[in-house]
Amino acid sequence: MIKFSGIKRMIATRFPFFSTLSIITKKNLRILTYHGISPLALQKEAFEKQLQFISKNFDTFWVSEIPKLLEKGPGSKPQVVVTFDDGLKNHVVNAMPLLEKYGVKGTFYIPVSLVENQEMLWNHEMRCILMLLGNDDLPEGVGPFSENVTIKSTEVSIYLENLKALDIKDRKMIQDSLKKKRTKEFLPWMLEEFQLMSVEDLMNLSPMIEVGSHTLTHPILTSISDKQLITEIKESRYRLEKLIKKPVLSFCYPNGSYSEKVVKIVEQYYSIAVSTNEGFVSSSNRMTTLNRIPAGKNMEEFLIRLIRPTA
């Protein structure tokens, strides 16, 4: 187990301005954000170290419990809510057993239509296809990218981020053209990183797991029509509830993108929603745009974020 006193010394040594601060404070409620628990995202061993620390020093809760926590105020230990976005298979394979091992609650945010159809998130699928294709195989207007795999990966990331700003129709045209160019099966590492859980996985999650909605298909909500917005937000809840036979009370904005219009629609169907805005949670926060804290890729970053979420 990680020594609490040792962590405080390490933080104080590396970051002297923290030396007078307690590493964790009871007054601040934290929501941690995880994505992949995998070699390229957060390695399983690093994740386990974080859970060890959480289980020793925090009481853990689901997102649906936040309103009561805010009403009651601080408990005997600091309080944390652990969330996982995107419904990845590696959440089931790598994260869930460790959550059970350490008695840590988790809220999984599921894009239910993608799970039902065993599709990847669009940006994950496009990343995999682009990494498989050479420049000669790319559709017109896409690329070229470096032949060096490491450099190409960075260039693809930048390209995909730029696509998020496009109108959904324009982005889908590019996506469809790439799909037509794909001739190879996805590689094992791609499936390990980006494959979604199955419907069977979803229906058999651990009692330590609560399910929330992450829309039907993980679109950028600010880029779709009002009719599509209502469908993505409303139907995702009902389809999840039908599958898991439990209430689905909370929502997570894909890519952290929302507007006042989006939030007001979310509020018609959910009592609580989480954002990608960084910070602690307090009773003054709007319950449908709650702050979260990226967990970080190593123990040092994780600990700093617990103290100062916007580090």
Question: 8 pLDDT exceeds 60?
Answer: no
pLDDT interval class at 20 (50, 70, 90):
very low
What was the pLDDT predicted at 190?
A: 96
**Tokens at 132, concatenated:** 């498989």
Rounded mean pLDDT of the chain?
A: 90
pLDDT recorded at residue 26 = 75
pLDDT of residue 17: 41
Residue 10: the pLDDT is 56
Measured CA distances, 120 to 59, 107, 114, 234, 252 (Å): 33, 20, 7, 21, 17
Per-residue pLDDT tens over the stretch 180-214: 998 899 999 999 999 999 999 999 999 999 999 99
Evaluate if residue 2 carries a pLDDT over 50. Answer: no
Q: Cis peptide leading into 188, omega within 30 of 0?
A: no
pLDDT band at 141 (very low <50, low <70, confident <90, very high): confident
Q: Give the HSE-up count for residue 303: Cα atoms under 13 Å, Cβ half-sphere.
A: 25
Is the pLDDT score of 24 beyond 70? no
| 184 three-state secondary structure | coil
pLDDT of residue 22: 52
Contact in structure between 159 and 139 (CB atoms under 8 Å): no
Residue 268 burial class via C-beta count within 10 angstroms: exposed 0-12, middle 13-18, buried 19 and up: exposed
Q: Is 122 exposed, middle or buried (0-12, 13-18, 19+ CB in 10 A)?
A: buried
The predicted structure's pLDDT at residue 21? 40
pLDDT score of 1 more than 60: no
pLDDT one-digit tens code per residue, 257-300: 999 999 999 999 999 999 999 999 988 889 999 999 999 888 88
**H helix runs in the chain, sequence order:** 4-14, 44-57, 66-72, 89-90, 96-102, 112-117, 122-132, 149-163, 168-181, 188-194, 199-203, 226-230, 236-244, 260-269, 299-307
Q: Are residues 233 and 215 in contact, defined by beta-carbon separation less than 8 angstroms? A: yes
Query: The tokens of 276 are what?
Result: 């990608």
Lowest-confidence region among 30-34, 61-65, 172-176, 232-236: 172-176
- pLDDT band of residue 169 (cuts 50, 70, 90) is confident
